[in-house]
Amino acid sequence: PVKVSKICCIGAGYVGGPTCAVIALKCPHITVTIVDLNQARIDAWNSPDFNVPIYEPGLVDVIRQARGRNLFFSTDVDKAVREADLIFVSVNTPTKKSGVGAGFGADLHYVESATRRIAAVATSNKIVVEKSTVPCRTAESMRTILEANSKPGIRFDILSNPEFLAEGTAISDLFAPDRVLIGSLQTSEGKDACKALADVYANWVPKERILTRISSVNALSAICEATGANIDEVAHAVGFDSRIGPKFLRASVGFGGSCFQKDILNLVVEMNEYQKSRFSKTVVDTLFNTITGKHIAVLGFAFKADTGDTRESAAISIIRDFLSEHLQEACPNTPLESIKKSVTIVHSALEACKQKEAIVIATEWKEFQSIDWELVYGQMAKPAFVFDGRMILDAEKLRKIGFTVKVIGRGDRV
């Protein structure tokens, strides 16, 4: 089997950045180069004062220790690809906005162009690892592209190694993953490639948590047969995820983020959208059925706490609902003008709450629990409403201060 000494990661985003930075930290003998076409993003990763483009607790420490030692960030995709033994493809796979699968299918054109680039520039054998969230059979398509476009005599082994990190806890998830899944063809070359990647993770992940027998990991029971997966193995692997269980089943205003929505069925996404709009409706209903002329503080804009990622966050849907609620008045011309006119961004929760009629908690940041609520109450118009979309506040305490409190998922009267 190949001994991996140079890794290239294509895509310096929420997944590629933290994942490969942790690999570099834990494997000082491997050189890791993370590449991206986005110059600004790479510049931020390289910034002298560690002003990295992604907020994750613990991330800066990892970068501080590994950057310049065996971890590099670059826009020179071709060079990094050429030099690497193993290449992670960790590019974005956004939900398609139009065409077949609009609203739920993944747009694979970034995966395709990264794959084509690998084929075009590779001058030696490569292990290509699909890390992006992709539909079943994508490895097959990548293989076809690589084999049809590469120079003669070059071998590509393709592995599936989906990432399970959750934004906000990416670094601790990567330090101690519930499990690492690696899928490959069951040929001897496929198994060798699988072993090479497993050996990388084995530098810090206990062997029993590295699962390499899975032949196709993107499927669940009903589709196993159609995709060639083995349900026993899939079930075994899913069981390792500690998020499946009580942690998963907490009511909230509706999850956001860009990965999860795509991973599950459209129906469930609709249910989630419904949950978000139901929350906005509760707010409007409670505010005597109209929010025209009212001032509402929305606390939190990221899709969850401890991340700077705002993609598809609940706050966006809620604010959009509020804007459309008083559209007639606020929006003379374009939507953008209306947003600029109606939405003010401030940097502190306390400031946001000043002189408002209502406060809406959209993200479960810890700091919202420790706001001086007495002070906030004193500065609000009365009656003062709090809508806790994340179940993080002590509702009883707030009621004692004088607030009218509504908590998502609780039918208590206001």
Interacting residue ranges for ligand NAD, rule: CB under 6 A:
10-16, 35-38, 41, 77, 90-93, 110, 113-114, 132-133, 163, 165, 167, 258-259
249 among annotated binding-site residues: yes
> Minimal distance in Å, beta carbon 199 to ligand NAD?
23
19 among annotated binding-site residues: no
Q: Among residues 256 and 360, whose Cβ is nearest to ligand NAD?
A: 256
164 among annotated binding-site residues: yes
Question: Is 259 known to be catalytic?
Answer: yes
> Minimal distance in Å, beta carbon 36 to ligand NAD?
4
Identity of the residue numbered 89: V
Q: Among residues 174 and 297, whose Cβ is nearest to ligand NAD?
A: 174
State CA 282 to chain mean position distance.
28
Q: Among residues 118 and 358, whose Cβ is nearest to ligand NAD?
A: 118
CB atoms within 10 A of CB 294: 18
> Minimal distance in Å, beta carbon 393 to ligand NAD?
26
- Report the distance separating Cα 356 and Cα 295, nearest Å: 5
251 among annotated binding-site residues: yes
Which segments of 161-315 are extended strands (E)?
Answer: 180-181, 210-211, 296-299
Of the listed 9, 20, 194, 259, which one is catalytic? 259
- Report the distance separating Cα 184 and Cα 187, nearest Å: 8
Which residue number has the CB closest to ligand NAD? 13
| Whole-angstrom Cα Rg for the chain | 24
256 among annotated binding-site residues: yes
> Minimal distance in Å, beta carbon 107 to ligand NAD?
10
304 among annotated binding-site residues: yes
Q: Among residues 92 and 275, whose Cβ is nearest to ligand NAD?
A: 92
Q: Would you state the structure tokens that stand for residue 391, as one six-digit string?
A: 């179940």
- 118 by DSSP, 3-state: which? helix
306 among annotated binding-site residues: no
> Minimal distance in Å, beta carbon 343 to ligand NAD?
24
Phi first, then psi: what are they for 273, rounded to 5°?
-60, -40
Burial 147-180, CB ≥16 within 10 A → b, else e: eeebeeeeebbbbbbbbbbbbbbbbebbeebebb
DSSP letters along 288-329, please? TT--TT--EEEE--SSSTT----TT-HHHHHHHHHHHHTHHH
Q: Among residues 26 and 304, whose Cβ is nearest to ligand NAD?
A: 304
Q: Among residues 31 and 92, whose Cβ is nearest to ligand NAD?
A: 92
> Minimal distance in Å, beta carbon 258 to ligand NAD?
6
- Please state, in angstroms and as integers, the Cα–Cα distance from residue 102 to each residue in 27, 93, 95, 99, 105, following that order: 40, 13, 7, 6, 6
Going by C-alpha positions, the residue among 298, 286, 304 that lies closest to residue 339 is 298
Question: Which positions make up the binding site for NAD(+)?
Answer: 36, 41, 93, 133, 167, 262, 311
Question: Which positions make up the binding site?
Answer: 36, 41, 93, 133, 164-167, 248-252, 256, 262, 304, 311
The set of catalytic residues is: 259
Question: Which positions make up the binding site for substrate?
Answer: 164-167, 248-252, 256, 304
